[in-house]
Structure 1
């Protein structure tokens, strides 16, 4: 029994979608879909349908692309919190676990430290705190624009009823902290979030000023605070494994078609989270 993870499938790209749908069955294994699976609900639904047929359990957390205020196939536009809630209900219709569902115990082997593991899917967003210190929102966007690194979120990600994404992020942090604090003492966690949870793990030399849209400084020590065995994130399109304070951090992105070897298919890009394998 294994726990795999992959994010940033970007299934609006036909080659990505075709490769994902070619994934073979993993009848006993679990899968984390770590956000930016698809921009439109109808494509996300295709992903859910295939994932639950192929894996014993599927966990999904949203990325920024899922939250973009794009109209669906019927021309209906759902924005902000309402869009997120709509996607949660879509996931639940297929039995996919979300950040709104109870955290789930991993039924496989114990973690490296011999403790039971709790899988904790999170939805935390970003608050521009990874940008230059002391700058306002407008100044940070202008700073990023100097190197043509402004995220499409500035035009496409609505936060209503919150005035700003930062306000939504602050609320999500409070909700998540409360839930994480209720995990049984002695357990270790697998923290799952689309956005990186530490600034020092962001490696995007081609677009260095994209960093303000990559997370929040408020989660920098969550791996210690919430006893994490491993932290699973995406967003960066830079697959890698890092270690901080004996905690493993896995960036599990696939990316756009030019960022992975299509001849190999998607299967080799499934990152094995549990049990830990260095292969």
Structure 2
């Protein structure tokens, strides 16, 4: 008997046809008892999202999805702001049979799959920001980062965006989960996940090898609000995306895993491994966690 499995991926960027085709080819291999988690950044085009969902949902027992930052771009859409589009994406998920709330999964062993909606805290929210100063270059992140051009928020919104999205998770956090929890967010929950090595050593290396010294990713990486929430959940495994740099870390009893498909050019250059074109299996209901 084939076990039921949980597969994860993120940053699939299906505006690249090769990425779309690779994911559909994987789905067609046969996963009728499996769950697939997509941790954001599929496309900013609603028609592309619908095509993706319609291709995947019939081939899995469950497909789970949360929006990333790209989904909330509104520059080439009919939506008045990014919050309106967020709710439209959730409605699209519901129509297509895509899950965006907590889900118990498995037959023999069981696990809970719990999405955490999120955004990033910039340096003006020091309590929750993942910001690390680059003291070797002028910061032009405001000019370079696409969200500051393509996303648009309601006028008069005085709540930090990361707090607004974190508040949406309260109903999930108030529930009891008697089985192990796999949580997932698009954005990073911890500063140390940004870096391949220790922060200090990474910054020393960046002085010599940083390809974009004027762009400070840490400003838009994530928020410790996510970390606080996944700890409240008691997550055993947390899936995240956004950075296009895949990581597997264990910190204080929680395993953090990023498995981003990324852009084709990133795979060609080795920034993202070639096997990231396929989702990764993180849990099976016959043996449990498999990372």
Q: TM-score range by the shorter chain?
A: 0.7 to 0.9
CA deviation digits over 1:185-236, x for unaligned, max 9? 6443211110111111113765571111111122334443321110011111
Residue of structure 2 equivalent to 1:226: 233
Q: For 1:129-160, what per-residue CA distance to the aligned partner results, in whole angstroms no more than 9, with x for missing partners?
A: 12248xxxxxxxx95317x9832111111122
Would the alpha carbon gap of residues 149 and 252 (structure 1) be closer, same or farther in structure 2, given more than 3 Å must change?
A: farther
SS in structure 2 of the partner of residue 144 of structure 1: coil
TM-score by length of 2: 0.78
Counterpart Cα distance in 2 of 1:80 and 1:45? 18
- Native 8 Å contact 1:2 1:29 kept in 2: yes
Of residues 195, 200, 208, the one that matches 1:203 is 195
Equivalent pair of 2:116/2:226 in contact (CA under 8 Å):
no
| Residue from 254, 270, 274 that aligns with 2:279 | 270
The alignment partner of 1:260 has SS state of helix
In the TM superposition, what are the counterparts of 1:250-269 in structure 2 within 5 Å?
250-260=257-267, 269=278
Tell me how many residue pairs correspond in the alignment.
Answer: 256
Partner of residue 175, structure 1: 168
User: What corresponds to 1:192 in structure 2?
Assistant: 184
Quote the offset at 1:92 in angstroms: 1.0
RMSD over equivalenced CA pairs, Å? 2.8
State yes or no: 1:153 paired with 2:162: no
Q: Are the aligned partners of 1:223 and 1:247 in contact in 2 as well (CA < 8 Å)?
A: no
Deviation of 1:167 (Å): 2.1
Q: Following TM superposition, where does structure 1 have runs of at least 4 consecutive aligned residues deviating by more than 6 angstroms? A: 264-267
| Aligned: 1:93 with 2:100 | no
TM norm structure 1? 0.81
Structure 1 residue 32 corresponds to structure 2 residue 37: yes
Unaligned runs of 5+ in 1: 111-115, 134-141
